[in-house]
Amino acid sequence: MAASASRALRAAPRAPRASRARRNPERGAASRAVATRASVSEAFKAVLDDGKRAFIPFICAGDPDLESTKKALKILDDAGADVIELGVPYSDPLADGPVIQAAATRALENGATLNKVIDLVREMTPQIKAPIVMFTYYNPIYQRGVDKFCADIAAAGAKGLLVPDIPLEETYDVSEIASKHGIELVLLSTPTTPVERAKKIAQATKGFVYLVSVTGVTGVQSNVATRVEQLVEELRSVTDKPIAVGFGVSEAKHAKQIVDWGADGVIVGSALVRALGEAKTPEEGLAALKAKAEEIRGGATL
C-alpha cells in the first residue's frame, strides 16, 4: 500500500466535536495492538483515539471461492482495515444490489455454506488484526437457533453481527443473546428513519451505528447523496457512538466527502466485491481488490 493511501482515511477532524491534535500519520504499533483480537467497539476507540477514521471493507465469503476469501481477508487487513464485514452468501439477499447478489450466487454455486464460512473465520482470525463482523440475513440465524449461531461465530473468532432484515423491535433479544457470547450486534439507520427512531437505534446498537447513505439496496454510485451530511448531524445530536456510512461508496472522492461530513468510518462493499469477483482469474481479482482498497482508503487525504 502506498504511504499516502495507508494513512489517509483517518486524517479528517471529527465534526462537530473539537479537532484532535494530529499524530504521526504512520499507524502506531500500539494502535494496531489494541485492535488485535479486540471487540468492534475497542477497534473503533483505538482509531478515534488516534484522531483517525475507520476503514470498513465488505466482501462476500466464497466469491469467487473460499481460498480466495482467505487471501482477500489478509489483503484487506494488510491494507489497514479496522473492521472487516464478511458476508455470508444467501439466496435471497433483499438489502443487496446486483453486484453483491451476483457474488452470493457465485459463492453458493461454488459450494459455500454457513458451516464453511464459520470454519474459514476460525482459520483466519488468528492471522488478521481487524475484528470480523458477520453480515447475514435472519433466516440462517433462525434455522440454526440464535444462541447456537452466536455461540458458533464467537467460538470461531467473529466479534460482530449485522442482520439487515430484522426491525429494531426484534433486535433486543438477539442483541442480548449475542452480547452473552461477546458478539456486538450492529444496527442500521436509513435516510427514511425518523429522528426519534434513529435515536432508539443508536441507543441499541453495539460497536457503531451503520448509517445507510441511500434509500434502497447496496450498489456502486457515482456520487454520495448530499443528505448524508444532515443524517450524520442528526445522528450525532442523539448519540456519542461512532457513525459509519455505507451503501454506494465506490470511489476515493466518496470516502473523502463522507469523512468531511463528520462520519467516523466509511464502509465499502460493492466496489470491492466487483473488483474481486468479476475478474477473469482469482489472482487478477485479488490484485484488483488490493488496488481498489488502497484507492478508496486514500480518499480522505486533506
Question: Which range among 24-38, 198-212, 221-235 shows the weakest confidence by mean pLDDT?
Answer: 24-38
The catalytic residue among 63, 85, 152, 251 is: 85
Question: Which range among 88-92, 225-229, 244-248, 265-269 shows the weakest confidence by mean pLDDT?
Answer: 225-229
Task: State the fold for domain 3-11+28-297.
Answer: TIM Barrel (3.20.20)
| Cell (9 digits) for 100 | 453483491
The C-alpha angle with vertex 250 and arms to 246 and 254, in degrees rounded to 5, equals 75
Query: With 80 as the cut, is the pLDDT of residue 63 above it?
Result: yes
The residue extents of the domains of the chain are: 3-11+28-297
Active site residue 170: no
* Inter-axis angle of helices 171-180 and 146-156, nearest 10: 40
Query: With 90 as the cut, is the pLDDT of residue 222 above it?
Result: no
**Residue environment code for 126-153, b if the CB has 16+ CB neighbours within 10 A, otherwise e:** eebbbbbbbbbbbebbeebeeeebbbbb
Active site residue 85: yes
The confidence score (pLDDT) of residue 28 equals 40
Cα distances (angstroms) measured from residue 183 to each of 127, 140, 152, 167, 284: 19, 17, 11, 18, 34
Q: What is the DSSP string of 214-262?
A: SSS-----SS--THHHHHHHHHHTT--S-EEEESS--SHHHHHHHHHTT
d(CA 6, CA 18) in angstroms, rounded, equals: 24
| Cell (9 digits) for 265 | 468510518
Percent of the chain exceeding pLDDT 90 equals: 68
| pLDDT, tens digit, 9 for 90 and up, residues 125-153 | 999 999 999 999 999 999 999 999 999 99
Average pLDDT across the chain, whole number = 85
The catalytic residue among 50, 63, 77, 96 is: 96
Query: With 80 as the cut, is the pLDDT of residue 217 above it?
Result: no
d(CA 202, CA 240) in angstroms, rounded, equals: 9
The confidence score (pLDDT) of residue 4 equals 38
Query: With 50 as the cut, is the pLDDT of residue 206 above it?
Result: yes
